[in-house]
Chain A
Amino acid sequence: MLIETTLDARDMAPPEPFDRATAILRQLQPGQYLRMLHRRVPYPLFEFCRGMSLAYRVNEDAAANCEIIIYFPADERTLRQERVL
């Protein structure tokens, strides 16, 4: 069972979502993942993820809200089994 950290950044003004997300990602351990809710795709964050060798998945709903799952590539299979991805 993977441990989820949720960050709802939909009402946050920049750069707070970025700062809060990177603060969480710096502490992230294998077996943990971040579920971030945002009102747009946070492109600059993906570069940070690549630097940290983290994988990410973006799901955009009809209301243009985004759910971003950021995880360790080794956990991908488990995340699929748990239907997170």
Chain B
Amino acid sequence: MRMKGLSLETIPPIHIPFRFFNTAPWMGVLAALVLLFGTGQPYGSQWSPELLAATHLLTLGFMAMVMLGAMFQLVPVISGRTIPGGTVVATLVHMLLLIGVLLLVAGFYWQAYWLFAWALPVLLGAFAVFLLALGSLLLRRIGGGDAIYSIRFAALSLLITIGLGALRSANYAGLLEPLTLANIANIHLAWGLAGWVLLLVMGASYQVIPMFHVTPSYPSLLARALPTVVLLSLLLLTLIDHTVVQALAVVALCTTAIVYAVYTIRLLNQRKRKIPDITARFWRLSLTCLMVSALLLLGFYFAGHLLSSVELQQMAPIIIGILMIYGFAGSVIMGMLQKIVPFLSYLHLQRRCMSSFELLKTLPHMGEIIPESRSRWQFRLHWSVLLVLLAAAITGFLPSLRHCCWRQILPGWASPWPVLPASTTVPLHV
């Protein structure tokens, strides 16, 4: 993705990305409430209704919500074309995604699987409208580059994840006969986390790590080899049901994740000016979670049968899920928002002040829009939440600790809210 030819004239109105960014934290809050007030044993199994509901609130409600909002912002800028009917399309995608997620989550939570028959077309509608409006623009107008190479694989993984999820939901809702692919839920999970999330983060990092943190670039060979190995491993895991092949694919996938994490941390350590940077801290936390997830997956895959306790065997996938979803993807997203939100807010304010020199001179510095102290607090809350989430999963059978943990998680999830530009700041300059 080359930054040359960036077209800021086509930047959409700020309410388009921000409606997604403002909705996303509430999905996190809802996930916390689901686990807090759930009647069952959320950590008893990775398939418990509460955990499935919370997982989809985080992956679709939080992660996909932010990612789609960011794409509505990014695509017009890099393609140089406005989205036809931008506000209408964004409103439609936002509403469909929100309604679809809530229906899906309600279906999981109350085990009212008939709701999937409604959630499925609504969610598919959200992604279809998004792809129709933006996908073709993205494919046609953006050239090569290591970032796009990985992002295209990520988009393919997203389609496969949605497809597998849709099949599974249709199966739950009784719209389809039981599927022949018995392991479909695990494959859906693998494509979602290792495909869509990891490949998208990889692609984004190729662009933003050197740009935001002034580091050397990723070597092109490595930048292309990593996503290729991830994609091939996922294809092998999905298509070839042979013990040795599956084992090799797991080793390749985990090794790739570890190599990527180690190399990126090394790049971050080569920043030209090592001044404190919250986004860099979010990145380090995220990459550490990725490495630990990969090591745990390797250990669990090859030595899981040695675990004597069934509870331990059930706990490992939950720990990996927490590390990958909240620790890896959640950290990257929150870290990136620290950079994106001030930039968009500033650009918006700048446009509103273009008519007057004097107004333009009163604009706050971009770095002041989210005060550093507030970012630091969000980071502290974020890693505290990660720790208590892991503690809650490990000691998931102690209701008192569980409640204590979620009391801390709620403010942590609400914390992305105050990082948005303070409403007291904006009117002063518009």
The chain A residues found within 8 Å of chain B, CB to CB, are 11-16, 18-19, 22-23, 26, 39-41, 43-44, 47-48, 50-53
Decide: B367 and A16 in contact? CB cutoff 8 A. yes
Q: A11-B214, A13-B271 are in contact. Are A41 and B4 (CB under 8 A)?
A: yes
Q: Give the contacts of B346-362 with A (CB-CB under 8 A).
A: 346-347, 350-351, 353-354, 357, 360-361
Decide: A22 and B273 in contact? CB cutoff 8 A. no
Binding site secondary structure of chain A:
helix
Question: How many Å from the CB of A5 to the closest CB on chain B?
Answer: 17
The chain B residues found within 8 Å of chain A, CB to CB, are 3-4, 6, 8, 211-214, 271-273, 275, 277, 339, 342-343, 346-347, 350-351, 353-354, 357, 360-361, 363, 365-367
Decide: B343 and A41 in contact? CB cutoff 8 A. no
A selection of 20 A-B contacts at a CB cut-off of 8 Å is A11-B272, A12-B214, A13-B271, A13-B275, A13-B277, A16-B367, A18-B366, A19-B366, A22-B365, A26-B360, A39-B214, A41-B3, A41-B4, A43-B3, A43-B8, A44-B350, A47-B8, A47-B351, A48-B350, A51-B353
Decide: A15 and B8 in contact? CB cutoff 8 A. no
Binding site secondary structure of chain B:
helix
Q: Which residues of the other chain, A, contact B339 by a CB distance below 8 angstroms?
A: 14-15
- Bound CA span A13–B208, Å: 11
19 more A-B residue pairs beyond the given contacts A19-B367, A40-B211, A43-B3, with a C-beta to C-beta distance below 8 A: A12-B214, A13-B212, A13-B213, A13-B271, A14-B339, A15-B367, A16-B367, A18-B346, A18-B366, A22-B363, A39-B214, A41-B4, A44-B8, A47-B347, A48-B360, A51-B350, A51-B353, A51-B360, A52-B357
Decide: B366 and A15 in contact? CB cutoff 8 A. yes
Q: Which residues of the other chain, A, contact B367 by a CB distance below 8 angstroms?
A: 15-16, 19
Q: Which residues of the other chain, B, contact A22 by a CB distance below 8 angstroms?
A: 363, 365
